Amino acid sequence: MDLKQTLLDKIATREAVIGIVGVGYVGLPLAVAFAEEGFSVIGVDVDETKVEALNRGESYVEDVANEVLQPLVESGKLRASVDYAVLAGVDAISICVPTPLRKTKDPDISYIVSATDEIARYGGTGKLIILESTTYPGTTEEIILPRLIQNGDGVGRDFFLAFSPERIDPGRTDHTVWTTPKVIGGMTPACQEVALALYGTIVRETVPVSSPATAEMVKLLENTFRAVNIGLVNEVALMCDTLGLDVWEVVEAAATKPYGFMKFTPGPGVGGHCIPLDPHYLSWKLKTLNYTARFIELAGEVNSHMPDYVVGKVGDALNRQKKAINGSSILILGVAYKPNVGDMRESPALDVIQLLQAKGANVCYHDPLVPELASEGLPLHSEELTAALLQAADCTVIITDHDAYDWQFVAGNASLVVDTRNALRDVADNGRVVKL
């Protein structure tokens, strides 16, 4: 039996059943895309809460609306389970599990290992298996492949293996699963052909590369590029502060150059599931080869210290009003890691809050998209943003510049503002605003 042709035929006729391991921020939008294209999709996740919500047609991911998810569930095109046994009958599996860093900045690929072991347990013969989770170059070949060939199956003949990194930016509507090019690296030409065929059904453009390790490196380059440039502009902010210059004016003027410059803006740190983590995967891998990734480590050092710099700015601003951080009431505006989403992963706001509390501040916050911080280990809930709340705060710190904020209202009622996002750039300066 020609397993490759059988799989290609099933993909072409939409008879292939797709398994998604991990139905979080990455897996759920992918599952929806396949289901909308006409495939039957089964999600697997160890989180029973997610599985139950998905099976009710209730989305827990901001990029997937209930109005989109529910019809797919009701039609039977999309369902979920906590039991890996359901993968025995699927034709293709995308692994979309978390890949966090340990406190030592070493990669934790235990979720990938566990998922692969379960897939092997229920049989990979005849299946296409794609890793989407961000990881270091070599993971697909060194970690996944050996676990799938233990029963004698040959890659590219009895099963098909590839790496295709997730590239979706949460909260964006201009770049979707369909419009974002999909980088794909197969273990063999046959693996590449099948993976391109499958993803070609849900993306407008596929980008084949020579190997899974190349595709793994592509993802790390993309986010290392951002981490290094954010680190650069954050250091420029520190330089401008020392020189008595306005970093925002400098950046905006530099951005008028029509070539050779890409605009990045400073901030209170970096957050999200990619930029603070992905470069460390590459750095760790290179350390095993006795190579130091100096740009990555320097950018990480600069970015990780930005919350300390913000707290220093708050202290200086209060000091000029003859107040100390200790005992002051400080209001944080925006705690999500980026504007217009409720995603708290690696948000620098958490570090700023904890540093202020450690110095004795009475901290409260408002975020229209994050009702509470209990899941982040902080017993705080979002306060109603009123004139009284702003007026009562000794200092208001803008961390996340959600579009929902009325900056005129904020500036008109706050007695002192530390603006880490240049959110008040269009508001008349009343002498009470301190920029990053």
Closest CA to 127 of 203, 202, 18, 13: 18
- Tokens describing residue 144: 């996944």
Q: How far is 313 from 269, CA to CA, in rounded Å? A: 14
Q: At what angle do helices 294-304 and 306-320 cross, to 10 degrees?
A: 30
Q: How far is 242 from 76, CA to CA, in rounded Å? A: 61
Q: How far is 105 from 272, CA to CA, in rounded Å? A: 16
How far is C-alpha 31 from the chain's CA centre?
Answer: 17
Report yes or no: 133 and 111 within 8 Å, Cβ to Cβ.
yes
CA–CA distances in Å: residue 280 to residues 96, 230, 288, 409: 19, 15, 12, 40
Report yes or no: 141 and 212 within 8 Å, Cβ to Cβ.
yes
Calculate the CA dihedral of residues 414, 419, 424, 425 and round it to 10 degrees.
150
Q: How far is 294 from 270, CA to CA, in rounded Å? A: 18
Report yes or no: 305 and 320 within 8 Å, Cβ to Cβ.
no
Q: Using CB atoms within 10 A of its CB, is residue 190 exposed (0-12), middle (13-18) or buried (19+)?
A: middle
**DSSP secondary-structure letter at 268?**
S
Question: CB-based contacts of 359: which residues, under 8 Å, 6+ apart?
Answer: 311, 315, 325, 326
Strand-pair partners of 17: 40
Report yes or no: 379 and 393 within 8 Å, Cβ to Cβ.
no
How far is C-alpha 186 from the chain's CA centre?
Answer: 24
Which residue, chain included where needed, has tokens 């197969």?
A: 186
Report yes or no: 293 and 282 within 8 Å, Cβ to Cβ.
yes
Q: How far is 253 from 135, CA to CA, in rounded Å? A: 37
Length of the chain in terms of residues written = 436
Q: Indicate which residues carry an active-site annotation.
A: 274
